[in-house]
Amino acid sequence: MSTLTRPPPPPRRGLPPPPQFETESKGSNFQQAHAYVPPPVPPRGGVRAPITPVFNIPHRSVSDSSVPHDLSRLLARKPPPPPTRPASFSPAKVPILKDGVPVRSVLAPPPPLNLASKPISIAEDKKSATAPPLAEIPSCLQCRDFSEADAHAALFPRASVYSLQDLAYGLAEPFEDDVDKARVIFTWLHHNIAYDAESFLAGNVQHSTPESTLASGLAVCEGYAGLFEQLGELMDLQVYKVSGHGKGYGYQPLKEGEPVPEEKSGHAWNCIFLNDEWHLVDPCWGAGVLTGGGVYEAKFAPHWFISSPLEFGRTHFPTDPSFQLTPEQSTWEEYILAPMAPVITSDFHKFGYHPLLVQPQVKYVPERQFVRFSVSKRCEHISTADADNYLLVISINGKDFLPLAFSEEEGGWIANIFTPRNGDVTLYLIDSVNNQDASGLDIAGFNKAKGRKTMGFKGLAVWSVVHL
């Protein structure tokens, strides 16, 4: 029996030699033509790389010739005018005006969230008994939860910050959404920049830069707006500093017959592009207030981050009218001669009421007449159920408390009051009964407790009764 032998394996092929570059024969022209060229800087809005902390880099304006052409063009772009509404489009994003006063939209709003309700179990269809995913719960800028951004902003005290780039990177690092990035800047300014009341009241305000504001921790409105703009740009946000007039500290309305003054500009705020829309933000007024004695009080006012252009138009008049962001631009005369609104407190905003949906819209109401007072929530997604709200009452000169009843038809709380000869009409919120939280107190419970239990009140709005 013969034995089969395996043939030997074929010889392994060797690796080809590396290619020979003809650098010597081609000369320097070849080297220049094949030299490595880095990729161009991506345009604004493209690939977003983390901001690398760089220390002691001076601030440069967008007109700097070293800025890429596309970036300079985008930063120089002014806010576009409001789009023209097609004839077939009926919903409106701004309140409908009736005799110059905003009213509720004629469209049926989505039903309010009743947080006390429970899903109904239906045996035949288990899917219908499942609660909707969290993402499907209605939300918007007005009712958005900013607690995460606000908490993150408090982690960067000014004394621990080495540069604007370092600060911008730290503030923006956990957030993908531009709204959260803008909000964390807004809140950080409240915690770390104080209004320079001494220089303001002495008329000795000096020019500031974002770097000098960060170093000193002091600013007036221009410094707040400039630092907000710079940090926003470092986070790749489209943001502008807006100059104009503000009806802030020291403002006095014109008396009857007093001539219209020339247009003035002594305030600054910001315009920023968020959620595919331009928004107005006032980080200075959001950080705190000057008291009557000229003392600065750091008092967070978050409604200046979410206010609509119509709200801004009451107290802000930009030098460039394109920054009004309203369908119809107002003139200086219309702005400065507009009647005063009722006095609205910080608690009014804290409890989620809308300043454009409060009635009457003017501060002064006629004497000895029936006047209708009403107030509505800031957002139609916020629950209006008794169990989720505090009872509202109207008081005349600190007495005769009358509760407001909720109207489903008008989406707000209403009371008709016969005004006195003089004095004030004040809107209150009952926040406690016998030192216990009064959320969910209804009119029946109020009438039962009135005169028998102690109640705590928070003032929301004040009107003055005058002879008209």
pLDDT of 424 strictly over 50:
yes
Residues of the chain with CATH 3.10.620: 140-252+261-338
pLDDT, tens only, 69-108: 443 343 344 444 433 333 332 333 333 333 443 333 332 3
How confident is the model over 145-202, as pLDDT tens digits?
A: 999 999 999 999 999 999 999 999 999 999 999 999 999 999 999 999 999 999 999 9
Which carries the bigger pLDDT value, residue 9 or residue 204?
A: 204
Confidence of residue 140 (pLDDT cuts 50, 70, 90): confident
What is the per-residue pLDDT for 139? 55
Average pLDDT of the chain is 79
The CATH topology of domain 140-252+261-338 is C8orf32 fold (3.10.620)
pTM score, whole prediction: 0.71
pLDDT tops 60 at residue 10: no
Domain with CATH 2.60.40.10 in the chain: 339-467
CATH superfamily of 339-467: Immunoglobulins (2.60.40.10)
Give the per-residue pLDDT at 256: 87
Segment 263-316, tens digit of pLDDT: 999 999 999 999 999 999 999 999 999 988 889 999 999 999 999 999 999 999
* pLDDT above 60 for 57: no
SS (H, E, C) the chain: CCCCCCCCCCCCCCCCCCCCCCHHHHCHHHHHHCCCCCCCCCCCCCCCCCCCCCCCCCCCCCCCCCCCHHHHHHHCCCCCCCCCCCCCCCCCCCCEEECCEEECCCCCCCCCCCCCCCCCCCCCCHHHHCCCCHHHCCCCCCCCCCHHHHHHHCCCCHHHCCCHHHHHHHHHCCCCCHHHHHHHHHHHHHHHCEECHHHHHHCCCCCCCHHHHHHHCEECHHHHHHHHHHHHHHCCCCEEEEEEEECCCCCCCCCCCCCCCCCCCCEEEEEEEECCEEEEECHHHHHCEECCCCCEECCCCCHHHHCCHHHHHHHEEECCHHHHCCCCCCCHHHHHHCCCCCEECHHHHHCCECHHHCECCCCEEECCCEEEEEECECCCCCCCCHHHCCCEEEEECCEEEEECEEECCCCEEEEEEECCCCEEEEEEEEEEECCEECCCCCHHHHHHHCCCCCEEEEEEEEEEEECC
Confidence of residue 11 (pLDDT cuts 50, 70, 90): low
